[in-house]
Structure 1
Amino acid sequence: MDPVRVRLPEADASGTGTVRGWLLARFPASAAELADLFATGGIVDDGGRPLPPGAPFVPGAAVWYHRALPEEPELPGDLPVLHEDEWLLAVDKPHGLPTTPRGGFVAQSALVKLRRARGEDRLSPLHRLDRGTAGVLLLSRDPATRGRFQTLFQDRAVAKEYEALAPHDPDLVLPRVVASRIVKDRTCLQAREVPGPVNARTAVERAGAPFADDDGCWVRYRLRPETGRTHQIRVHLASLGVPVRHDPLYPRVLPAGAAGPPLQLLARRVSFVHPVTGVPLSLASGRRLACGDGR
């Protein structure tokens, strides 16, 4: 996990004249943790030098420290490597594992698990898969070339193919491109479609024969998002009346903490031209959805 960086303000509101006093006043809930960090030399300045408890408050200075990790339930951690070179790492993320630390999960995230297992503190995700989504995840191994990979995503030079298991609607006309404006803010768990200029486009087609089980009639869909809005595929399928099977957010939010089967959404394939080597890459997940059609 990356260290926390805190920049001191221009004025010491604590009135103590020390870094320790300001931090304790600013983060009272972390008082015990901060006291331990000062006692063990765990709070350092920009030069990496440990700060003593009486270190003077310097306006605009920065301090760094690693936060203690809370206890976390163990999440799936199988992350098979699909491709590896000097600049890039591609892994096959399982369902239920966050890409990066968020919410109640820090150590139990793909990024931290990979950094620890591989001893690579410079690993950084190039995109994000929702916690419930499995499949191809790309990470940068080299900060100097990370921007070149990110430019591929910004220029829409990365072809992404997803698979989803969702209800079968024989009256739904496919293939089609779903185009809408999607917005997402922190006040709501769901992203939503709103009037305005289009910022999300997803090509949708069926990719298998329908099958039935005790819960209904289902079919596998192939999806090619042209853009990368938050929850884009899940929102677009729900808007067509065929939400992803076992989706806890769409079309309605299930109660918090309600455990259920994995979201049936998979980042099947990612294709692009390697920006450093110039070699075309097409990286495919080895995971499978429970599609009932022999796959």
Structure 2
Amino acid sequence: MQSKHRFVLDEPEVPFELTVLYEDTNIIVVDKPHFLATTPRGMWYRQTALVRLRERLGEPQITPAHRLDRLTAGVVLFVRNPELRGAYQMLFQNHQVKKTYECLAPAKSIVRPQTGTVERLDSPSVFPLKRRSHIVKHRGRLQAYEIPGAVNAETVIELGETDGNIAAPGYRRYILRPKTGKTHQLRVHMNSLGLPIKGDDLYPEITQPDYTDFSNPLQLVARSMSFIDPVSHDPRTFVSQVPLG
């Protein structure tokens, strides 16, 4: 039988470990490093979280309940019991998963976006704020972009705690709470405010990546994920340990 994924012979090895945060008979929760794709796509096959898990555990039936961009690190949920795949995927489709992201972006005043709205949630303070817009992403086009239209993307953005562990002058931590899940939503929303995420190779401008260079990761981490388990009905919370900066 022909494999559904093609094998890649010259695939660069991602030199970061995939850490398992939790596992039981139904699910596996991992802390995905930067540069590791969630599933096979394009030039990536073995250097993906899915294939690493399947090979490590000898369980070819493992499947993701959702995905993170290759350049985004953090918490990812996999389902090891195929019969329960739909139950866990529906958590994400029905927006029943509370997700928090953390990023590094410029420590400066925001700019007015060209479209959409910005609502200050604790006026007159700028943050926290709610960014709402209409985001589109076309196949074959690397960047997503915003156009006038009915809102389909919403993110609450807060200032993160400042500490001495960030070796990036001119940057600070931001906490991002997406209410929707459009492709590149957080990167697009931050860029639209004049605060592009550190290490972003698509926003505001596309830069040609060197797939063998792992020295400048996108400073965006899916920091935490919380939901009610659809099988056990227990509350679940998982937190990424991937550092920023």
Q: TM-score, normalised by structure 1?
A: 0.73
Determine helix, strand or coil for the equivalent of 2:161.
Answer: coil
Determine helix, strand or coil for the equivalent of 1:176.
Answer: strand
Corresponding residue pairs, total = 228
CA change 1:256–1:289 in 2 (3 A) is closer
Which range moved further: 248-257 or 129-138? Answer: 248-257
Which one of the candidate residues 152, 160, 163 is aligned to 2:102?
163
1:216 positional shift: 4.5
Q: TM-score, normalised by structure 2?
A: 0.87
Matches within 5 A, 1:1-295: 3-4=3-4, 67-170=6-109, 173-209=126-162, 216-257=169-210, 259=213, 261-290=216-245
Distance in 2 (alpha carbons) for counterparts of 1:215 and 1:84: 35
1:86 positional shift: 1.2
1:102 positional shift: 1.2
Give the aligned partner of residue 26 of structure 1: none
Determine helix, strand or coil for the equivalent of 2:210.
Answer: coil
Checking the alignment, whether the CA contact within 8 Å between 1:202 and 1:225 is kept in structure 2 is: yes
Distance in 1 (alpha carbons) for counterparts of 2:54 and 2:168: 40
Distance in 2 (alpha carbons) for counterparts of 1:210 and 1:175: 19
Determine helix, strand or coil for the equivalent of 1:287.
Answer: coil
Determine helix, strand or coil for the equivalent of 1:182.
Answer: strand
Determine helix, strand or coil for the equivalent of 2:232.
Answer: coil
Deviations 1:143-173 (A, max 9, x none): 1111111111111110000000000114671
Checking the alignment, whether the CA contact within 8 Å between 1:122 and 1:141 is kept in structure 2 is: yes
Checking the alignment, whether the CA contact within 8 Å between 1:182 and 1:232 is kept in structure 2 is: yes
* Aligned residue identity for 1:82: L
CA RMSD of aligned residues (A): 2.1
Q: Work out which of the two has the higher radius of gyration on C-alpha atoms and give 1 or 2.
A: 1
Distance in 1 (alpha carbons) for counterparts of 2:207 and 2:240: 28
Question: Could you list the runs of 5+ residues in structure 1 that have no partner in the other structure?
Answer: 5-65, 291-295
Checking the alignment, whether the CA contact within 8 Å between 1:211 and 1:217 is kept in structure 2 is: no
* Aligned residue identity for 2:196: P
Q: Relative contact order: is structure 1 or structure 2 higher (C-alpha 8 Å, sep ≥ 6)?
A: 2
Deviations 1:35-91 (A, max 9, x none): xxxxxxxxxxxxxxxxxxxxxxxxxxxxxxx74442311113411111111111100
Distance in 2 (alpha carbons) for counterparts of 1:215 and 1:222: 17
Checking the alignment, whether the CA contact within 8 Å between 2:99 and 2:177 is kept in structure 1 is: yes
Distance in 2 (alpha carbons) for counterparts of 1:247 and 1:289: 14
Which range moved further: 101-110 or 256-265? Answer: 256-265
Percentage of pairs with the same residue:
47
Checking the alignment, whether the CA contact within 8 Å between 2:144 and 2:183 is kept in structure 1 is: yes
